[in-house]
Amino acid sequence: MIAVKVNSVKKTFKAEKSVVTALQQINFEVSKGELFGLIGPDGAGKTTLFRILTTLMLADEGAASVDGFDVVRDYKEIRKRVGYMPGRFSLYQDLTVEENLSFFATLFNTSLEENYDLVKAIYQQIEPFKKRRAGALSGGMKQKLALSCALIHRPSVLFLDEPTTGVDAVSRKEFWELLRDLQKHQITIIVSTPYMDEASLCDRVALMQNGKIMEINSPKGITENFKKPLWAVRGENMYQLMQTLQASEAIDSCYPFGQYHHVTFTHAIPDSQVASELAKIASVVEVKRIPATIEDCFMELMRQ
């Protein structure tokens, strides 16, 4: 059963004199109950894609359907059955937590009591502050309130635009646990994030860059596609080390990653000889073989 289907969608914006292509030839499908991640840096086109799927914007070309309904023709049906949480906190700051919830519930012709089982896990965390105005909540609390409001009408597809941006590490972890819980209710979730480490928490991810999808796969599938052996290298002077390595013929790629530089070689070299090969080029302190992460795959795809 396919929940969301996007077929060669294209969208351009007119800037001053030039035309900016926000999305080009986007194709993907999400099946029911899946947790699908859109991973990409700022400006990749994630929000534009969300706005098209939630019927807030019309695509220039291509077709898309949500829950079997066309986004252009059946927009009314879609508005009844999707939940959308924009990247920016968009609830009424001068209404209380409780008032915001009952307001949105009424707009969808339902009530908090009717769908309490669905929002219970999230709502319980903000319930102590239900008399507080939404504008006075902390960032993490605001996210939870926004999620509750997006869920209040038991949507079949949930769109979350960068829900964890600007939220602390603990709240982020909690938030992803909540999303995992929601899958039990057969809700399809499409979530976008600029954080690569969150990709591994999705069932499948699409890596986006400059309005294009570079790859769609499960997080495991993506990292397995990284064929070259990857090495983490550390030296005395990290900046100089990177410059020397990048200039070398033998090195295919080298970029900083936390405390280390991640390095791949142009030609295959037996593992035992790597340390000595590197020593010929520059002075290194530590060399170790590591498994590729999503970010490594992203860097590799960007190079292509």
Return residues touching other proteins (CB under 8 A).
54-58, 75-76, 79-80, 82, 84, 86, 88-95, 99, 102-104, 106-109, 149
C-beta closer to other proteins: residue 152 or 241: 152
Number of alpha carbons in the 13 Å side-chain half-sphere of residue 105: 17
Q: Work out how close the CB of 262 gets to other proteins at its nearest, in angstroms, rounded to a whole number.
A: 38
Total residue count of the chain as it appears in this document: 304
C-beta closer to other proteins: residue 132 or 234: 132
C-beta closer to other proteins: residue 6 or 158: 158
3-state secondary structure of 163: coil
Residue 117 in tokens: 């089982």
DSSP 198: G
Of 204, 192, 130, 143, the C-alpha closest to 170 is: 143
Q: Work out how close the CB of 186 gets to other proteins at its nearest, in angstroms, rounded to a whole number.
A: 21
C-beta closer to other proteins: residue 123 or 265: 123
Amino acid making up residue 268: A
Q: Work out how close the CB of 81 gets to other proteins at its nearest, in angstroms, rounded to a whole number.
A: 9
C-beta closer to other proteins: residue 153 or 172: 153
Task: Give the containing element (helix H, strand E) for 239.
Answer: helix 238-247
Angle at 45 between CA 160 and CA 213, to 5 degrees: 100
Quickly list DSSP for 80-148. HHEEEE-SS--S-TTSBHHHHHHHHHHHTT--TTTTHHHHHHHHHHHGGGTTSBGGGS-HHHHHHHHHH
Q: Work out how close the CB of 132 gets to other proteins at its nearest, in angstroms, rounded to a whole number.
A: 13
Amino acid making up residue 109: N
C-beta closer to other proteins: residue 56 or 250: 56
C-beta closer to other proteins: residue 64 or 196: 64
Residue 103 in tokens: 């307001």
Q: Work out how close the CB of 271 gets to other proteins at its nearest, in angstroms, rounded to a whole number.
A: 53
Q: Work out how close the CB of 47 gets to other proteins at its nearest, in angstroms, rounded to a whole number.
A: 11
Dihedral Cα 86, 88, 90, 91, nearest 10 deg: 110
Cα 133 from Cα 48, distance rounded (Å): 30
Asked whether 140 and 167 are in contact (CB, 8 A), the reply is yes
Q: Work out how close the CB of 143 gets to other proteins at its nearest, in angstroms, rounded to a whole number.
A: 14
Q: Work out how close the CB of 43 gets to other proteins at its nearest, in angstroms, rounded to a whole number.
A: 19
C-beta closer to other proteins: residue 100 or 223: 100
